[in-house]
C-alpha cells in the first residue's frame, strides 16, 4: 500500500475552469502536508503548505481532512501556465522523511 | 537565491560501472536527500543525511551508498550500475523541522 495516493490524471480543462485534486495518505500520525508543482523535465518546487484550518494563496486553495486522511488542492480561473504535474507530499513524525505521491497531471487548454 | 546543484544533467553508463552523482547546496541546510523518480511511481527516497557523516536508509537503498563528508555536499554512489537503475535522480535539501525541500535540477541516468 502506498503512503500517498493520487489520481494520475490527466485532467484536461479549458482556461478559466476550476479544477480540484485530491490526495489520500495512509499514516494517521502524519504531521505536515504540502503541494509541490513539477513542470515537464524540471525539478519539483513547493506550491504551498497545507494547514489544518485550510489556506489560500491567490487562485489556489488547499485543505486538509484529518478524519478522512486526505488533502485537496483547488485551482480557480485556470491559466495555461498552470499546466504541470502536482505532487502531494506528506511528512510523518520523523521530520526528515517526506512521502511523495506520484503526481496528478493538469493540462489547461486555450 | 537558494541553490541546489547536481554534477550532471544527463549521464550514460555501462552495466557494472561505478557511478558517482554529486549534489551541492548553498543554504547551510542540515538535511539532504537523494530520490529517484520513475513514471507512475513518483519520487522514492533512497538515502538521506541529517548531518555530516550521518546517513539513514530510505525506502529503496539497495544497490546504492552515500557519502557526506561536508555539510554542503551529498554524494550518491552506484557501486555496480544495473539497467534497473536507469532513472531520474533528484537531490534535495531542507532545514530541520519538516519544512520546504529544495531540489536540484536532476540527473537523468541511463545504464546500458
The answer to whether B58 and B48 are in contact (CB under 8 A) is yes
Burial code (b: 16+ CB inside 10 Å, e: under 16) for B31-51 equals bbbbbbbeeeebbbbbbbbbe
| DSSP-assigned letters across all residues of A45-89 | EEEEEE-TT-EEETTEEEEEETTTTEEEEEE-S--GGG-EEEEEE
Chain B hits for A96, Cβ within 8 Å: 31, 48, 50, 56, 96
Confidence of residue A2 (pLDDT cuts 50, 70, 90): confident
Which residues does B95 contact at the CB level (< 8 Å), separation at least 6? B27, B29, B30, B31
The chain A residue lying nearest B10, using CA atoms, is A41
The answer to whether B26 and B73 are in contact (CB under 8 A) is no
Chain B hits for A95, Cβ within 8 Å: 96-98
pLDDT digits (tens, 9 = 90+) for B71-84: 999 999 999 999 99
The chain A residue lying nearest B88, using CA atoms, is A41
The chain B residue lying nearest A30, using CA atoms, is B98
pLDDT digits (tens, 9 = 90+) for B37-53: 998 888 999 999 999 98
Within chain B, where are the H helices?
Answer: none
User: Is residue A93 pLDDT above 70, yes or no?
Assistant: no
B100–A32 CB contact, under 8 Å: no
Q: How many Å lie between the alpha carbon of A80 and the closest alpha carbon of chain B? A: 23
A43–B42 CB contact, under 8 Å: no
Diameter over CA atoms, chain A: 43
How much is the mean pLDDT over chain B? 93
Mean local confidence (pLDDT), A33-38: 95
Q: What is the rounded CA–CA span in Å between residue A89 and residue A71? A: 10
pLDDT of residue A77: 98
Which residue has cell 519520487? B43
B83: DSSP letter:
G
Q: What is the rounded CA–CA span in Å between residue A30 and residue A25? A: 8
Amino acid at each position: 500500500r502506498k503512503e500517498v495516493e493520487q489520481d494520475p490524471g490527466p485532467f484536461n480543462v479549458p482556461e478559466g475552469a476550476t479544477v480540484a485534486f485530491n490526495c489520500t495518505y495512509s499514516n494517521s500520525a502524519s504531521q505536515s502536508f504540502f503541494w509541490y508543482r513539477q513542470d515537464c523535465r524540471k525539478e519539483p518546487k513547493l506550491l504551498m503548505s497545507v494547514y489544518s484550518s485550510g489556506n489560500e494563496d491567490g487562485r489556489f486553495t488547499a485543505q486538509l481532512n484529518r478524519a478522512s486522511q486526505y488533502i485537496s488542492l483547488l485551482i480557480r480561473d485556470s491559466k495555461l501556465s498552470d499546466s504541470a504535474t502536482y505532487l502531494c507530499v506528506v511528512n510523518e513524525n520523523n521530520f526528515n522523511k517526506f512521502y511523495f505521491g506520484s503526481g496528478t497531471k493538469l493540462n489547461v487548454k486555450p | 537565491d537558494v541553490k541546489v546543484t547536481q554534477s550532471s544533467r544527463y549521464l550514460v553508463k555501462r552495466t557494472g560501472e561505478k557511478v558517482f552523482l554529486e549534489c551541492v547546496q548553498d543554504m547551510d541546510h542540515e538535511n539532504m536527500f537523494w530520490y529517484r523518480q520513475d513514471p507512475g511511481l513518483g519520487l522514492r527516497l533512497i538515502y538521506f543525511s541529517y548531518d555530516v557523516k550521518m546517513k539513514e536508509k530510505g525506502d529503496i537503498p539497495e544497490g546504492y551508498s552515500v557519502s557526506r563528508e561536508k555539510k554542503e555536499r551529498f554524494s550518491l554512489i552506484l557501486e555496480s550500475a544495473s539497467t534497473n537503475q536507469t532513472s531520474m535522480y533528484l537531490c534535495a535539501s531542507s532545514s530541520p523541522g519538516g519544512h520546504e525541500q529544495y531540489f536540484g535540477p536532476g540527473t537523468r541516468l541511463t545504464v546500458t
